[in-house]
Amino acid sequence: MVPAMAISFQTHPDRYKHWTLTIDGDRAELVMDVQPFGGLSDAYELKLNSYDLGVDIELADAVQRLRFEHPEVKVCVVKSGQMRVFCAGANIPMLGSSTHAFKVNFCKFTNETRLSIEDASHHSGQKYLAALNGTCAGGGYELAMACDHLLLIDDGASAVSLPEVPLLGVLPGTGGLTRLVDKRKIRRDRADVFCTTSEGIRGKRAVQWGLVDEIAPRSKFDEAIAAAAEKLAASVEGTKGPGITLDPVVPTIDDNGNLVYQYVTVELAQDARTAVLKIRTPDEAQPTTAEAIQAAGASQWSLRAFRELDDALLQLRVNHLDIGLVVLRTEGELETVLGIDATLYANRDHWLVNEILAFQARVLRRLDLTAKSFFALVEEGTAFGGVLLEVALAADRIYMLEDEDEKVAVAVSDANLGPMPMSHGLTRLQARFLGDTAPIGRIAERKGERVITTEADELGLVTIAADDIDWDDDVRIALEERVSMSPDALTGMEASLRFPGPESADAKIFARLSAWQNWIFQRPNAVGPEGALTKYGMPERPTFQWTRC
């Protein structure tokens, strides 16, 4: 069973149980050696490099540290520390004993982790090589497909596979299916055969079909790894660094059970099934030059606050499942956020600034993909400007107080005008005004200015503008109504409404996870008493209901 205790998403290479990260010049090695009895629970055994959430938390940490602490690395070789097995995928007993909500959030996090690998390749010039020394199945093959180059050992037995449909009655995390056809461009008929062949495909056919990029015999496998790594490293231009140290981001828990970080607070109202997530702007001076940004390292607000926001979102997802509505608030000065944004965008060619901006974009996408309702409240003393306005634009609704003194305002910066795309490639303003560039142009003209409530309403930046007479009642009724609705219906509705317009491979992964995998994980053919996931590893075969719907 998934443990009842709160799960922490903070770790460090010194505390890794399942991975070893080594650095040698511009090359890193990330070796997976999952400890069978080192999972988040002792109720299952992590055999054959199968993984649970704890294994993936370490992987996500390693990918993040490579970007910030070791920017000199140009290629990372992902290897197995176990003989004749790369990774058997997600641990089946763990999945079979987990709640439905945990299974879905687990799949979401693993997909986000694999996307972070692809993001590192695209934005940071850190390439990944998957050295497949044996069995590579399910989520293990999803991990491999997230890498830039797949090298499979050719020993007559080692294969790649996505066996979830024939063996478990579920989908291969949906990231597997999407990467197979959208990223690796596998023909649909071959993909159909591959995904329904539990033993997988090996050797020359795996190369011919595009399932891997290269094969090598066992006697020359290490030599092939070195050659492929050298070629990938040579494709990366320039040098970066020195790196910075990522200090721990761990909240304190106050007497009311609230999460308190340096710049972020999560106030929990469990009985009301709501939480208030507040982000504060810094009181202390922030760096204004590239040199100062490098010197400030992980302590600067632009990185620290978003690392805290990232952790808070993960805490809400996994440890507070009954919280259905998150109220977004900010506190501080608009000018402070605008000044920080201006400094970052003026120095975005600096390696660390590039990483900070890419990380902010990833955290905002994590917010987009979180199965909670989000309402942003813009009042006096709030600081919804620039990148914090982007937080509000990610919300399902924005309520803004209309005051006679015009003290309530929002503000636009470069952060809102292109560099923070959602999973489907559009900015949040483009998604808001789908197919109509005129409103975005009018908003862009106000960049750097205070936009008061009446103006924000006219520009289409807010959902409801209410005066101080109606404010309390309007907000209270909206919150009460939201939490009274079916969370299942809201999750489906929000996932549909948040991503209008075109799809990308990333958007497909999470849309399918929210719909198809969410549905399949509750069907008797997968998780019923006679379902495939329930019967996995038992002598009895599953019994399917044959109705197609």
What does the block give as tokens for 342? 């201006």
pLDDT of residue 171: 87
* 338-388: pLDDT as tens digits: 999 999 999 999 999 999 999 999 999 999 999 999 999 999 999 999 999
Mean pLDDT, residues 302-327 taken together: 97
The order of strands in the sheet holding 127-132 is: 19-24, 27-32, 75-80, 127-132, 149-153, 214-216
The two tokens of residue 66 are: 């490579």
CA distance 525 to 167: 11
Would the pLDDT of 1 be above 80?
no
The arithmetic mean of pLDDT across residues 528-543, rounded, is 91
pLDDT at 518: 84
Chain mean position to CA 524: 29
Say which residues have a Cβ less than 8 Å from residue 205's Cβ, sequence separation at least 6. Answer: none
With b for 16 or more beta-carbon neighbours within 10 A and e for fewer, the 94-119 pattern comes to bbbebeebbbbbbbbbbbbbbbbbbb
169 vs 238: CA distance, rounded Å: 47
Q: Which of 263, 393, 274, 269 is nearest to 331 (CA)?
A: 263
Q: Where in the chain is the domain with CATH 3.90.226.10?
A: 13-234, 252-493
Cα separation of 409 and 448, whole Å? 12
Please check the confidence at residue 288 and state whether its pLDDT lies above 60.
Answer: yes
DSSP string, 79-133: EESSTTEEE--B-HHHHHHS-HHHHHHHHHHHHHHHHHHHHHHHHH--EEEEEE-
DSSP string for 21-47 = EEEETTEEEEEE---TT-SS-TTS--G
pLDDT band at 549 (very low <50, low <70, confident <90, very high): confident
Which residues have C-beta within 8 Å of that of residue 390, sequence separation ≥ 6?
364, 415, 416, 420, 428
Q: How far is 81 from 312, CA to CA, in rounded Å?
A: 33
Q: What is the mean pLDDT of residues 204-233?
A: 98
CB 394 within 8 A of CB 374: yes
- Whether the pLDDT of residue 434 is over 70: the answer is yes
| Side-chain-side CA neighbours of residue 491 (13 Å) | 24
**Average pLDDT of the chain, as a whole number:** 95
In 3D space, the residue among 247, 336, 341 whose CA is nearest the CA of residue 299 turns out to be 247
Query: Percent of the chain scored above 70 by pLDDT?
Result: 99
User: Long-range contact list for 355-359, CB < 8 A, 24+ apart?
Assistant: 355/67, 355/68, 355/71, 355/123, 355/124, 356/293, 356/300, 356/302, 356/303, 356/306, 357/419, 357/420, 358/67, 358/119, 358/123, 358/124, 359/67, 359/303, 359/306, 359/307
Check pLDDT > 80 for residue 41.
yes
pLDDT at 2 > cutoff 50: no
Rounded to whole angstroms, the Cα distance separating 99 from 105 reads 10
Report yes or no: 438 and 458 within 8 Å, Cβ to Cβ: no
Query: Is the CB of residue 513 less than 8 Å from the CB of residue 104?
Result: yes
**Alpha-carbon distances of 495 from 133, 444, 503, rounded to whole Å:** 38, 27, 13
Mean pLDDT of the region 33-62: 97
Nearest to 301 by CA among 339, 266, 267: 339
Residue 3 CA from chain centroid, whole number: 22
The DSSP code sequence of 172-220 is STTHHHHIIIIIS---HHHHHHHHT-TT-EEHHHHHHTTSSSEEE-GGG
Residue 281 has pLDDT above 50, yes or no: yes
Q: Kindly write down the DSSP assignment for every residue of 49-79, as one continuous string.
A: G-B-HHHHHHHHHHHHHHHHH-TT--EEEEE
How many CB atoms lie under 10 A from the CB of residue 266? 24
Cβ–Cβ contacts within 10 Å for residue 177, how many? 22
Give the model's pLDDT for residue 3: 42
Bridge-partner residues for 329, per DSSP?
Answer: 278
Question: What is residue 5's predicted lDDT score, i.e. its pLDDT?
Answer: 62
The confidence score (pLDDT) of residue 266 equals 98
Can you tell me the distance from the alpha carbon of 376 to that of 325, in angstroms, rounded to the nearest whole number? Answer: 11
Token digits of residue 138: 């399910």
For residue 463, the tally of other CB atoms under 10 A from its CB is: 15
**pLDDT tens, residue by residue, 326-345:** 999 999 999 999 999 999 99
Report the pLDDT value the prediction gives residue 359, as an integer from 0 to 100: 98
List beta partners, residue 135: 85
Whole-number pLDDT of residue 273: 96
- Check residue 516 and give its pLDDT: 83
Out of 216-230, 434-448, 514-528, least confident range: 514-528
Fold for 252-493, please state it: 2-enoyl-CoA Hydratase; Chain A, domain 1 (3.90.226)
Q: Which two tokens stand for residue 214?
A: 């290269």
Neighbours of 166 (CB within 10 A): 14
The helix (H) or strand (E) run that includes residue 495 is helix 487-497
Contact 273, 322 (CB under 8 A): yes
Contact 318, 4 (CB under 8 A): no
Report the C-alpha gap between 360 and 365 in whole angstroms.
9
- Per CATH, the number for 13-234 is 3.90.226.10
Q: What confidence score (pLDDT) does residue 344 get?
A: 98
Q: Is the pLDDT of residue 425 over 80?
A: yes
Q: Output the pLDDT for position 173.
A: 76
Any idea what the Cα angle at residue 340 is, between residues 336 and 343, rounded to 5°?
A: 140
136 pairs with which residues across the strands?
A: 87, 160
% of the chain surpassing 90 pLDDT: 93
Is the sign of the CA dihedral 215, 221, 225, 227 positive or negative?
Answer: negative
